[in-house]
Amino acid sequence: MNFASDNWAGAAPAVMSALARHNSGFSPAYGADPLTDRISERFNDIFEREVAVYFVATGSAANSLALSAYARPGGVIFCQNDAHIRVDECNCPEFMTGGGKLVGIAGPDGKLTPDGLREALQAFPDGVVHHGQAASVSISQATESGTVYTLDEIAAIREAAQARSLPLHMDGARFANALVTLGCSPADMTWKAGVDVLSFGATKNGCWCAEAVVFFDPEAARGFEYLRKRAGHLFSKSRFVAAQFDGYFEEDGWLATAAHANEMASTIAEGIRAAGGRTAWPVEANEVFPILKRSRFQALEAAGARLYEWPATDLAATIAPSEDEVCLRMVTSFATTEAEVEAFLSTLAGAA
Amino acid sequence: MNFASDNWAGAAPAVMSALARHNSGFSPAYGADPLTDRISERFNDIFEREVAVYFVATGSAANSLALSAYARPGGVIFCQNDAHIRVDECNCPEFMTGGGKLVGIAGPDGKLTPDGLREALQAFPDGVVHHGQAASVSISQATESGTVYTLDEIAAIREAAQARSLPLHMDGARFANALVTLGCSPADMTWKAGVDVLSFGATKNGCWCAEAVVFFDPEAARGFEYLRKRAGHLFSKSRFVAAQFDGYFEEDGWLATAAHANEMASTIAEGIRAAGGRTAWPVEANEVFPILKRSRFQALEAAGARLYEWPATDLAATIAPSEDEVCLRMVTSFATTEAEVEAFLSTLAGAA
Amino acid sequence: MNFASDNWAGAAPAVMSALARHNSGFSPAYGADPLTDRISERFNDIFEREVAVYFVATGSAANSLALSAYARPGGVIFCQNDAHIRVDECNCPEFMTGGGKLVGIAGPDGKLTPDGLREALQAFPDGVVHHGQAASVSISQATESGTVYTLDEIAAIREAAQARSLPLHMDGARFANALVTLGCSPADMTWKAGVDVLSFGATKNGCWCAEAVVFFDPEAARGFEYLRKRAGHLFSKSRFVAAQFDGYFEEDGWLATAAHANEMASTIAEGIRAAGGRTAWPVEANEVFPILKRSRFQALEAAGARLYEWPATDLAATIAPSEDEVCLRMVTSFATTEAEVEAFLSTLAGAA
Amino acid sequence: MNFASDNWAGAAPAVMSALARHNSGFSPAYGADPLTDRISERFNDIFEREVAVYFVATGSAANSLALSAYARPGGVIFCQNDAHIRVDECNCPEFMTGGGKLVGIAGPDGKLTPDGLREALQAFPDGVVHHGQAASVSISQATESGTVYTLDEIAAIREAAQARSLPLHMDGARFANALVTLGCSPADMTWKAGVDVLSFGATKNGCWCAEAVVFFDPEAARGFEYLRKRAGHLFSKSRFVAAQFDGYFEEDGWLATAAHANEMASTIAEGIRAAGGRTAWPVEANEVFPILKRSRFQALEAAGARLYEWPATDLAATIAPSEDEVCLRMVTSFATTEAEVEAFLSTLAGAA
């Protein structure tokens, strides 16, 4: 019953076999290999346009380097309060952007709202050098609260960003999970909705280390290869990242693993509700944030379930944990089994 | 006949099978997994003392982060002119150290000399704020010229560094190759000779991405985990780097692959000399820098050999290429076969 | 009727005459001159202990460099929401600290509270690399709201900082104004209350450019001269900053100018209250934040008064401006005359 | 007999009286004052075109911020070996440019040569990410060796830079001295010869702190105000820098002080030659580098002369100091008197 995080899983079988398959022979280093070329083409297909794709080592690097491509001196990046870039990357975005500032904005269900963005932007009028200058807007899809922006929501944020000529970044650490939820195309969820640059994460959904920065306007990517290399993120044996993506995309396996993870999360959420419990936020991807009596949490832990307590801030009074309750985080992945979910739910029922 | 670079090879069989072996099940992320712990212990064994080990994505990151642990404002890092950190890392060390300066020092056979170091240090006396302050000394073992420092040479550099209280960094992108050449222990070649921090590279010698920063004084590593994370170099599925090292170290395979690569380089060097040719520098690890008539180089290329022209600077007049000659670089690896080497040498003989 | 800012004033007569007095003859550059030495001694006297003093060009530089002396990778600096370092320095602290993060904490009357600090620190537990690491705490004395911390308040913040081994920085852009209000000694208001490093501002109170970073533990200042020079803040003709301080300190003139400015502010505040108005925050130094009917503000402006509208956030409902009211900022200085204040108050009365 | 440096002098009378003249009354802060506007216009007049002018605190800041306006990730700045930006600014350019690399190029008489530049640029071909990317070229006028580039020399460097689309920066710490030597207009010596951005230094030639960054294409200055503020270099009481320039430019006083300093240097040089001595480099501005017997140097020092020993590198064998000789540096300024020069020369004659 391991629901600690989707990065506790290993690599999906298709990914492992692709790694083995592409291991033989010599291949040019530093991304000049034919497989990297082929995977870049595959990204063009997936996004239905020519894109510029750069592999990096981690999601933190993808986010921070993507934002650094739009950095300005005294630059300010706007995001929702709980955004990973703001609270979980040890100032990597600040470092990579030469001292950028991340302004967190409150928003319901882990989402940035256009109104929240507009209000925050008012504190940074153009031309007032003391406050610095607005540089970019970033959203996470799916969010840190396990919710998913609708296409209209993304477009509305885009509009608010565009009013100040700001580029829109999407942290897609759980891109596939959100995509499956919306049932739209990758193009719909990104550049057609106004996204300029995407951190395309595949690690959590079945790779071991496959993260890419995707620019929808290749011209905007000018110089990015230097930003990446300057940060030590150009792999010499780049073909092994390409290989992972090769396995990942094979027969749309990435959508299948995401769909499975999402389904497991839904099943858990239903089970919790059936047991009279509730979740802090709607369950729209592969994360569940149950609010449970502390005693039930302890019983679950005693039974071997791995899940984390989670700081549940900004919740409405009707939802927020009471004194004897606790908010938890559960994450599912391709590796989550139905048996695990069933075991969890029956333990939960027993603990009631 | 591929001698382009050792990072054109794939991963060695033991590494690939270790990746597959450690793929199953859940494992804590971000380096808190038992395998990472076990491999850290393995590093202690290998170096015969307690060390602090940190995995990162690339050799550039390993070098730059290691140096950043000893950064000072206005800091100056001393290295040989051809050092990778100075000419091949797109200012990654400068960036990671907050604007450090790399001072290149001429030295024979790709080596820094104690006298060269001492002379360079004189231009940076303590307390003269205008010039900045000496921060560290870095050597590459094996060097960029394919040579290997003796233990005495390392100790003598250490002494010159120590006279100014400077730490000594070793870029060990080809650590195993040098180690096999010297036939000493890893401890002998590092902390016993005065090395403070090591970039331990395994990628070129058979992994696909396994680089580690090794501090010989764990106390000096304080805060390093933040430097690494701030740079986006903390892998979430860290166990896969640990897995590579597990395969790498298995039954001393890493020494065997390095020994093989070195032997292939020696065979090539002997063949070149037998054919009346010469090399720019002594062949002491897995790189050969032949100086050949341009016509022979063209014949080799026409026959399918992959090798690069190389800028041969600072060579003695008796060795430097003449007008119709060219200096080349050939790199061997675990994947280089005797058949390839034979084919190369007979093509060379035929081209004479 | 100029109340726009204290940095709209020129230099006080004693400062100008000191500049002229110390202009003759040759003097070593870069702070090695006898006058700089003498002023450093003067700082020792003023603070009743040996301190390390460094002149820099601006208050932004003083704050940012002081904080950079205590920077850590992924470092987090804690301050009140409205702190100058957080909202008015174009990310200079973030830049100088290599990507530090400024966490703003709500607090009444522009003040950081020990409880607010403790709560904020809880989100950054030691050893959780993802969140970065707590690095320092900063307070402004006087605050951006024109209030002054009592000695007990400073000591309580110090205690909360100390519980996490964090140094305490004081932004003393209006140090003299606060000092005069408290009627204590400079030592009392700084190191005796637990301040580790001070930005000692003299520009607003009568110099033209005289700002100093003062370390109360000279040992903590090690390397600071490199931080300053690396940022381009070491004046060549340093004696002219020293000269300004010489004039500033002469016959305790700095306390007199601050006392005058404070008194002018008090007089304004009393006049406003007498006219039935109120201020957003207590008037404890040389700033007044009146809340007036917009029509009265317009009448004042029409009569030639210079003062700014001010964002009045976080005010209690009983104080906050109503729809037809506006919050303003008025700043007095050594150059503010009683006549100006009288003219302002009678205009205000007439506009009622 | 003080020839230690031109920044050992105080401020010229016209500058001091301008400071006093502009001290009265209130004036907007942060460069929004009418005097700053007026001086900006004055720069337009002086350079015969619309320029963008930014005051900063020091020459190091002017150079480093000017270069940061043209920074690129992994960027490389090319300059002569002895350039101040390379050896005397404690890595300020490296820091401000986010880790830029300064490549020093040997050149005679302290000058960068077009051939030297072209050769150095060859090591940094476009598109090779490992080496970083060429970013800018910088020259010092007058040079650190006291020589002055002719207009043709500047234009030829510009041509070599332009072949790689690189901007040309001029470090004009001693701009006026060079200008007087050439007898041309400021426009001739800068944008008409292809200079893109200039560090216009006035401190050494009679101000106490007046340095400006001048962009000849105002469009290229976009965002520069943020770079300056981010580095803590926006003065609040900016009018006092403007005031210094007002006094500096008054009745072409700046050209007169520079002419005087140059003449004093010429007189010294002639005296040295008359005494059978020689100088390391031609004396073309306000610096003299005599090569004297050590005994004569000691006699001069004993007589109270202030002058520094200087590392005389890269000198032709016919000029370089012999074993019992020493190379010295003497700098003259507006404050150097004929009496001092006469005293120096007669002491020298007596020591022969």
The nearest CA of chain B is from the CA of A26 a distance in Å of 5
**Contact between A99 and C88 using a beta-carbon 8 Å cutoff:** no
Q: Mutating which of A70, A133, A230, A238 best tests the D interface, going by the most D Cβ atoms within 10 A? A: A230
The shortest CB-CB distance from C100 to any of A89, A91, A97 is to: A91
Average of per-residue pLDDT values in chain A: 96
Q: Which domain does A343 fall in, by range? A: 254-350
Name every residue whose Cβ is closer than 8 Å to that of residue D299 and which is 6 or more positions away in sequence.
Answer: D347, D350, D351
β-pair partners for A80: A105
Taking residues C77-81, report their average pLDDT. 98
Whether residue B280 sits in one domain with residue B148: no
**Domain ends where: C204, C228, C252?**
C252
The nearest CA of chain D is from the CA of C241 a distance in Å of 10
Q: Which of D287, D307, D288 is nearest to D297 (CA)?
A: D307
Q: Would you give the DSSP letter of residue D1?
A: -
Q: Is the pLDDT reported for residue A296 higher than 80? A: yes
Average of per-residue pLDDT values in chain C: 96
**Contact between D129 and A73 using a beta-carbon 8 Å cutoff:** no
The nearest CA of chain A is from the CA of B2 a distance in Å of 7
Q: Is the pLDDT reported for residue C49 higher than 70? A: yes
Q: Is the pLDDT reported for residue A131 higher than 90? A: yes
Output b/e per residue, B243-270; b: 16+ Cβ within 10 A. Answer: bbbbbbbeeebbbbbbbbbbbbbbbbbe
Q: Is the pLDDT reported for residue C206 higher than 80? A: yes
- CA C53 to CA C213: how far, in whole Å? 6
Q: Is residue B298 part of a domain?
A: yes
Whether residue A223 sits in one domain with residue A241: yes
D26 — pLDDT class (breaks 50, 70, 90): very high
Q: Is residue A135 part of a domain?
A: yes
The shortest CB-CB distance from D90 to any of B88, B95, B129 is to: B129
**Contact between C61 and D9 using a beta-carbon 8 Å cutoff:** no
β-pair partners for B214: B53, B198
- CA B42 to CA B245: how far, in whole Å? 9
B100: closest chain C residue by CA = C230
Strand segments, DSSP code E, in B36-180 are: 52-56, 75-80, 101-105, 133-140, 168-172
- CA B155 to CA B143: how far, in whole Å? 16
Taking residues C191-214, report their average pLDDT. 98
**3-state DSSP call for residue B315?**
coil
**3-state DSSP call for residue C110?**
helix
Taking residues C268-283, report their average pLDDT. 94
**3-state DSSP call for residue D163?**
coil
Name every residue whose Cβ is closer than 8 Å to that of residue B242 and which is 6 or more positions away in sequence.
Answer: B22, B33, B35, B36, B38, B39, B55
Give tens-digit pLDDT for A202-245: 999 999 999 999 999 999 999 999 999 999 999 999 999 999 99
The shortest CB-CB distance from A130 to any of C88, C94, C96 is to: C88
Instruction: Calculate the alpha carbon distances from C285 to C58, C191, C289 in Å.
Output: 21, 21, 11
Note the pLDDT of residue A276.
Answer: 87
Q: Is the pLDDT reported for residue C31 higher than 80? A: yes
A53 — pLDDT class (breaks 50, 70, 90): very high
Give tens-digit pLDDT for D200-255: 999 999 999 999 999 999 999 999 999 999 999 999 999 999 999 999 999 999 99
Taking residues D35-39, report their average pLDDT. 97
Give tens-digit pLDDT for D131-159: 999 999 999 999 999 999 999 999 999 99
Give tens-digit pLDDT for C97-133: 999 999 999 999 999 999 999 999 999 999 999 999 9
Q: Is the pLDDT reported for residue C352 higher than 70? A: no
The shortest CB-CB distance from D74 to any of B91, B98, B100 is to: B91
**Domain ends where: A226, A252, A278?**
A252
**Contact between A223 and D132 using a beta-carbon 8 Å cutoff:** no
Q: Is residue A246 part of a domain?
A: yes
- What's the domain count of chain D? 2
**Contact between A208 and B240 using a beta-carbon 8 Å cutoff:** yes
Q: Is residue D7 part of a domain?
A: no
Chain D residues with beta carbon closer than 8 angstroms to that of A133? 223, 226
**Contact between A232 and B10 using a beta-carbon 8 Å cutoff:** no
A352 — pLDDT class (breaks 50, 70, 90): low
Chain D residues with beta carbon closer than 8 angstroms to that of C237? 7, 10-11, 203, 208-209
Q: Is residue A117 part of a domain?
A: yes
Chain B residues with beta carbon closer than 8 angstroms to that of A25? 10
Output the six-digit token pair for C225.
């001269």
Chain C residues with beta carbon closer than 8 angstroms to that of A131? 87-88, 90
**Contact between B91 and D102 using a beta-carbon 8 Å cutoff:** no
Give tens-digit pLDDT for D268-283: 999 999 988 899 999 9
Whether residue D312 sits in one domain with residue D202: no
Q: Is the pLDDT reported for residue A68 higher than 70? A: yes
- CA C188 to CA C190: how far, in whole Å? 6
The shortest CB-CB distance from C19 to any of D19, D57, D226 is to: D19
Name every residue whose Cβ is closer than 8 Å to that of residue A204 and which is 6 or more positions away in sequence.
Answer: A5, A6, A7, A9, A173, A174, A333, B236
Whether residue D232 sits in one domain with residue D127: yes
Q: Mutating which of B3, B7, B63 best tests the A interface, going by the most A Cβ atoms within 10 A? A: B7
Give tens-digit pLDDT for B131-141: 999 999 999 99
**Contact between B94 and D96 using a beta-carbon 8 Å cutoff:** no
Chain C residues with beta carbon closer than 8 angstroms to that of D21? none
Whether residue C245 sits in one domain with residue C297: no
- CA B106 to CA B104: how far, in whole Å? 7
B160 — pLDDT class (breaks 50, 70, 90): very high
Whether residue A298 sits in one domain with residue A194: no
Q: Is the pLDDT reported for residue D352 higher than 70? A: no
Average of per-residue pLDDT values in chain D: 96
Taking residues A321-341, report their average pLDDT. 96
Q: Is the pLDDT reported for residue B211 higher than 80? A: yes
Q: Is the pLDDT reported for residue A274 higher than 80? A: yes
**Contact between A91 and C102 using a beta-carbon 8 Å cutoff:** no
Note the pLDDT of residue C223.
Answer: 95
Q: Mutating which of A101, A129, A233, A234 best tests the D interface, going by the most D Cβ atoms within 10 A? A: A129
C351 — pLDDT class (breaks 50, 70, 90): confident
Query: B242 with B35: CB under 8 angstroms?
Result: yes
Taking residues D153-173, report their average pLDDT. 98
Give tens-digit pLDDT for C289-340: 999 999 999 999 999 999 999 988 788 888 999 999 999 999 999 999 999 9
Q: Is the pLDDT reported for residue B110 higher than 90? A: yes
D313 — pLDDT class (breaks 50, 70, 90): confident
Note the pLDDT of residue D351.
Answer: 73
**Contact between A16 and B20 using a beta-carbon 8 Å cutoff:** yes
The nearest CA of chain C is from the CA of A346 a distance in Å of 33
Whether residue D102 sits in one domain with residue D43: yes
Q: Mutating which of C64, C72, C94, C310 best tests the A interface, going by the most A Cβ atoms within 10 A? A: C94
Q: Is the pLDDT reported for residue A41 higher than 70? A: yes
Residues of C contacting chain A (CB within 8 angstroms): 73-76, 87-92, 94-102, 123, 129-132, 311
A129: closest chain C residue by CA = C90
Chain A residues with beta carbon closer than 8 angstroms to that of D238? none
* Percent of chain C with pLDDT strictly greater than 90: 95
Taking residues D23-39, report their average pLDDT. 95
Q: Mutating which of C101, C122, C131 best tests the A interface, going by the most A Cβ atoms within 10 A? A: C101
D96: closest chain A residue by CA = A98
**Domain ends where: D213, D228, D252?**
D252
Output the six-digit token pair for C329.
């900022």
Taking residues C139-166, report their average pLDDT. 98
Whether residue D166 sits in one domain with residue D312: no
Note the pLDDT of residue B352.
Answer: 64
Give the number of other CB atoms < 10 A from CB of residue C313: 12
The nearest CA of chain C is from the CA of A99 a distance in Å of 4
Name every residue whose Cβ is closer than 8 Å to that of residue D141 and which is 6 or more positions away in sequence.
Answer: D148, D149, D154, D170, D171, D172, D174, D175, D178, D189
Query: A56 with A25: CB under 8 angstroms?
Result: no
Whether residue D131 sits in one domain with residue D25: yes
Q: Specify burial of residue C17 (Cβ count, 10 A radius: 0-12, 13-18, 19+).
A: middle
Q: Is residue B325 part of a domain?
A: yes
Output the six-digit token pair for D2.
């003080």
C97: closest chain B residue by CA = B98
Query: A197 with A47: CB under 8 angstroms?
Result: no
Q: Which of C176, C260, C209, C201 is nearest to C19 (CA)?
A: C209
CATH of the domain at B91: 3.40.640.10
Note the pLDDT of residue C313.
Answer: 76
Note the pLDDT of residue A311.
Answer: 86
Output the six-digit token pair for B165.
């209280």
Contact partners of C by the rule of 3+ C-beta pairs under 8 A?
A, B, D
**Contact between D102 and B101 using a beta-carbon 8 Å cutoff:** yes
Chain D residues with beta carbon closer than 8 angstroms to that of C60? 229, 232, 234
Q: Is residue C124 part of a domain?
A: yes
Question: Looking at this predicted complex, what is its ipTM?
Answer: 0.96
Q: What string of DSSP letters covers C51-76?
A: -EEEEES-HHHHHHHHHHTT--TTEE
The nearest CA of chain A is from the CA of D101 a distance in Å of 12
Note the pLDDT of residue B350.
Answer: 86
Residues of D contacting chain A (CB within 8 angstroms): 30, 68, 72-74, 98-99, 129-130, 132-133, 223, 225-227, 229-230, 234
CATH of the domain at D262: 3.90.1150.10
SS percent in chain C: helix, strand, coil, step 5: 45, 15, 40
**Contact between C99 and B230 using a beta-carbon 8 Å cutoff:** yes
Give tens-digit pLDDT for A146-161: 999 999 999 999 999 9
**Contact between B94 and D94 using a beta-carbon 8 Å cutoff:** yes
* Percent of chain A with pLDDT strictly greater than 70: 100
Residue keyed to tokens 């007089």: C267
Whether residue B278 sits in one domain with residue B187: no
Q: H helices within chain C, ranges in order?
A: 13-21, 34-47, 59-68, 84-87, 92-96, 114-122, 151-162, 175-182, 186-189, 224-230, 239-249, 253-274, 294-302, 338-351
How many Å is the Cα radius of gyration of chain B?
Answer: 20
Whether residue C110 sits in one domain with residue C89: yes
Whether residue A278 sits in one domain with residue A198: no
**Contact between C130 and A96 using a beta-carbon 8 Å cutoff:** no
Query: D226 with C90: CB under 8 angstroms?
Result: yes
**Contact between C129 and B226 using a beta-carbon 8 Å cutoff:** yes
Query: A155 with A192: CB under 8 angstroms?
Result: no
- H or E element: which one contains D103? strand D101-105
Chain A residues with beta carbon closer than 8 angstroms to that of B27? 8, 10
The nearest CA of chain A is from the CA of B255 a distance in Å of 21
Q: Is residue A5 part of a domain?
A: no
